[in-house]
Every structure is written in C-alpha cells, then in structure tokens.
Chain A
Amino acid sequence: MNSSRRIKLQVFRVVVFVVMGAFFITPLIAMFEFSTRGNGENAPRTLEAWASIFKTPDMVDAITASLQLAAITSIAMLILLLPTMVWVRLRLPRLNRIVEFICLLPLTVPAIALVVGLRPIYVWININVTDSILALAFAYVVLVLPYAYRSLDAGLAAIDIKTLSEAARSLGAGWLTVMWRVIVPNMSSAILNACLLSVALVLGEYTVANLLNFENLQVAIAYVGLVSAGTSVAVALASLVFAFVLLMVISFIGRRRTPSLAAAGTDPQYLTAGQRT
C-alpha cells in the first residue's frame, strides 16, 4: 500500500468514527443534560427528576413488576427450553430442525402482530386464571425464545452431551442429576448469556404490555412522560444504562470463555430486535 493511499484511508477512518461517534453519543449526553435541568431559565442543575422516580408510586410498582417478570421469564425459559433441547439432541435428533425452526419463528412474527392473537387468550387468562401483571411472563417466554435458543444451542454444541450423559447414566445418575450436575455446570456461561438476554429484553418490552393493558416499566415511562418529561428521561437513561451493563457483560462472557458463543454473538438473526419489541 503506498503512503498517499494510507493517509487517505486514515483520514476516511477518522472522519467516519468522529461523525458516527457524535451521532451515537449525543442522545446519551442529551438525556443526562435533560434529566438534570432545573425549573425555569438559568436555574441551577438539579437531581430532582431522578429523586422523583422513587416518589412516583406507579413507577416503583412498574419497576418491581418488570424485575419480577425478568426473573420469572428467565427461569421459565430455562425450565422449558433446556431439558427439551437436551432431550431432542439425545433421543429425538430427527426433531432438531423442527425445534430450531419453531424457536426462531418469533423473529418473523412482529410482536405487534403476535399481540393481536394473544389478546383473546389473555382475556381468557384474566378471567379464569389471574389478572396479575406477572401473567405477561407467558408471552415473554415466547418473545425471548429465539435469543435463548441461539445462546443455549451454542453452549450445547460446545460440549459432548451424548458422552457426558451416557457416562453419568452408567454411573447410576438419574436424569435430574444428569441435567443439574453434569449438563448445567458444563454450559454455565451459555445459560447465563441466555438469562441476561432475556432480562434485557423483558426490561425493554413495551408492545405486548401496552396492548394487553398492563403497566410494566416501559409503559410507565411512556405514561409518566406525558406528565413530566424530565422524570421519564431519567428512568429511561437509568434503564438504558442497566441494559448496557447487562449486554456488555454478555459480550465480555462471549469473548472470554467459549469461542462458539462469540460466534453466536455475530449471528445476524441472533441479534435482531431485542428491546424494540
């Protein structure tokens, strides 16, 4: 490469990074600036908007509900998906493609469309089972399915479950022991990854909650925003920073422990949507 082209390339790179950097960092700075504004012109900076998060009872309820939903969804997803995936790999390999197809299906059904079909089901659930907001977890398990599947799939591919489970079985272990003491410890980072992705998705979920008339964190942010923009920008920034930390942890785990997870991290389908749902 000759030197003039090298210089041109460096100039191009610097320009691209600076322009893109400005576009992506400005809204984050703006959120911080906006949420610390005082009342009126030239008023001193204040943390009033941040403090009022905890003075808004609706907001506290919504944050609690969203955190509970995140925990329930992660656990339910693992209980439903992991044994099924292991079982299919060991005993029903013919079904592997079908299970994969079904798990990735929610990617092609926009959440706004799915919720139309979920509404009659939730009407029934609200009348006959429970009207608690935690019922949303039923729908959220479906929404996190593609991301959880990709992550767990990468984890399962990295270990030889057939040999491991046969070895454990021949030593007298029952299926529960095989799952809990052999398979789970061997793919702990994939499981953690799947859980963190689920948590990030549930904390950012708005579509389903809003259209099924439940008030989760994002619905509360939108609602408070109609009254006090400062408070909802503050909550939005806080939930964003929380999600950033979670997802940074994921990319850190992905890079350090298992190379195959890092590969899954660059898979296009694995990365679509997320908080947007």
Chain B
Amino acid sequence: MTAAGTPAFSAAARPVQGGRRLPLSWLGIVPFAAYIALFLLLPSAIIFAGSFVNADGGIDLSNFTSINEPFIITSFANSLLISAISAIVGAFSGALLAYAIVTGNPNGLVRRGVTSAAGVLAQFGGVTLAFAFIATLGTIGFVTVFLKNIGIDIFANGVWLYEQSGLTLIYLYFQIPLMVLVFLPALDGVRPQWREATESLGGNMWHYWRYVAGPLLAPSFLGCTLLLFANSFSAYATAAALITQGGVIVPLEIQHVLVSEVGRSQPGLAKALALAMIVIVAIVMTLYSLLQRRTSRWLR
C-alpha cells in the first residue's frame, strides 16, 4: 500500500499528473499479482507444461498415452463411479432433508439448528472423517460391535469399509449437508401460491410435482448434483487415511506416482493425471455455474 499511496487522490491533480497516474495506481496490486503468479499460476504452468515432457526431456504426448494403462483407467473409473454414486445419493437424501426443513417454520429452531449443523458438517472431511468411520464401522467399531452382539455381522462377506463402497458411504457424510445448503435457496424460491394455483385448476399432487415444481427445481437439482460430484471427485485426504495400499482412486494414484516419482520412467505422469483431474473438475464446475445461472432467473 505504501508504494501505491504516493499519487494525490484529488480530481484536480489528475490533469497535471495525467501520464503518471495509471502506472502508479497499478503498483497497488503488484504484491498480490506477484504472489498469485508464484503460488497459483506457476504451479498450474508447471503441471501443464510438465505433462507434455517425456522421460528423456523431449516434448510429446507419452504421458497421456500412459494414462491408457489398465490400472490408471481402473482408478479413473473408480473415481468417477464413487463420485457419481455419492453425488446422486447425496443429492436425493439432501433434497429430502432440505424439503423437510422448508416445510417447517422458516424462523423456527429446527431450521436454524439444521442449517447451522449442515454448514459445519459440509466442511467436515479429511483424515478426521476417516477416523470417525473407523471408530464407527471399523472391524472393532462402535456400531460393528453393537450389531455383532445382537447377532448381525455387517462384514459377513468381507470388510467393505476400506474399499470403494465404504468410501462412497463416508463421502455421504459431507455430501448430504452440502446438498442441503446449496439446494435450500431453490426450495425457498418455490411459492405456496403455485401449489394453490395448481389445485384451483384441478391438479393433484402428482400434477403439481410433474408439471410445476419438478421442472422449476430440475436445473438447480442437477446443478447441485454436479457440484457434489466435483466435491467428491477432488477429495483426497479421507481416502488416503482410509486406504493405505493401492491407487484405488485418481488422487491416490497421483500420490503413488508422485511419492515414488524419483527413479520412475515417467516423471510427467503425475502432472498428466493432475491435468486430467483439473480438466474434469473445470468442465463440471462450468456446467454447474451455467445451471445456477438458469435457476437464478426465477429464484428471488
């Protein structure tokens, strides 16, 4: 700020300082721009450029062709599947919860309590979440032991907590609260008069949901589902703490390649995987913001 604080801040001074005014006021954003360039743009450039550099230092597409290897394809398929299932299940459960909130008193204690809790739980994740579920559903977890004592063995067909299905269940713990938060504004925008109008025109509950509320809420619902997808697709810490061996999902594959990068034949592979992730998330987030824009046409 001090560097930029020199020019006089008065309209009268402008004509005199005419030429100098522009460059000096630009100085004010230099620290920010430099920081961003160094710690956000440079890493992105390293990823982008590095993914085209092959093992011998030449430039080609070999890193992308090695994404084609079966184990990497599998981890991409796993990632997409886990994200899709946890997004869809999370979206439906979250929408139900949001609807249960909206039908109550708008200023009531229930609504305030649930939205505050959702705000907190949507932030919850990472290593802590993995340990929470190990304590709950691990082989000696609270619920596992309790169910075993009453004669139910949830792991009769093998321990599923530490693989894809377990991961999907754990992701729901932050997906559902996130859905409540992002879908609530859309549900709030639905006016009771629309239901009354449907009824006075002779429509029943099915007609209301099929022809009025459904089509209006669909873009928002779809958009929120996409946000949930991107959210679980980028998640890494929970899986890393839960699954100690193997690259089950793409983030774990990146970790695997990155940590053992030295001495491997393809130093650019981690960068190519990272670039692929960024591209997927960017596409999903763009679709999300397009759908949000459509929703905001009738919301508020």
Contact = CB atoms under 8 A, between A and B. Distances in A.
Given A13-B104, A84-B32, A272-B227, A27 B132 contact: yes
B29 A84 contact: yes
Contact of A33 (B135, B174, B258): B135
Interface stretch (A50-58, A64-72, A244-252): A244-252
Interface string A140-164: 0110010000000000000000000
B76 interface: no
Interface string B37-81: 011101111110010000000000000000000000000000000
A265 B119 contact: yes
B254 A233 contact: no
A31 B132 contact: yes
A142 B36 CA distance: 8
A251 B238 contact: no
B190 interface: no
Contact of B5 (A176, A204, A206): A176
A27 B277 CA distance: 30
Interface string B275-293: 1011001100100000010
Contacts of B100: 12-13, 16-17
B248 interface: no
Interface residues of B, number: 96
B13 to A, nearest CB: 12
Contacts of B218: none
B17 interface: no
Nearest to B176: A20
Contact of A276 (B29, B32, B235): B235
Interface residues of A, number: 93
Contact of A218 (B45, B97, B126): B126
A218 B124 CA distance: 13
B135 A243 contact: no
Given A169-B9, A206-B126, A108 B277 contact: no
B237 A206 contact: yes
Nearest to B280: A110
Given A105-B40, A112-B274, A92 B123 contact: no
B131 interface: yes
A185 interface: no
A81 interface: yes
Contacts of B135: 27, 30-31, 33-35, 229, 233
B40 A102 contact: yes
A195 interface: no
Contact of B123 (A9, A91, A116, A247): A247
B43 to A, nearest CB: 3
B182 interface: yes
A266 B125 contact: no
B181 A142 contact: no
A277 B2 contact: no
A107 interface: yes
Contact of B233 (A91, A110, A169, A247): A110
A271 to B, nearest CB: 6
User: Which 8 pairs across A and B sit closest by C-beta, in order of nearness?
Assistant: A117-B43, A110-B234, A276-B125, A30-B142, A274-B123, A34-B135, A113-B274, A30-B136
17 contacts: A13-B100, A17-B114, A24-B177, A26-B136, A31-B132, A34-B141, A87-B28, A110-B251, A116-B47, A117-B271, A141-B35, A210-B255, A236-B132, A240-B124, A271-B122, A273-B234, A276-B234
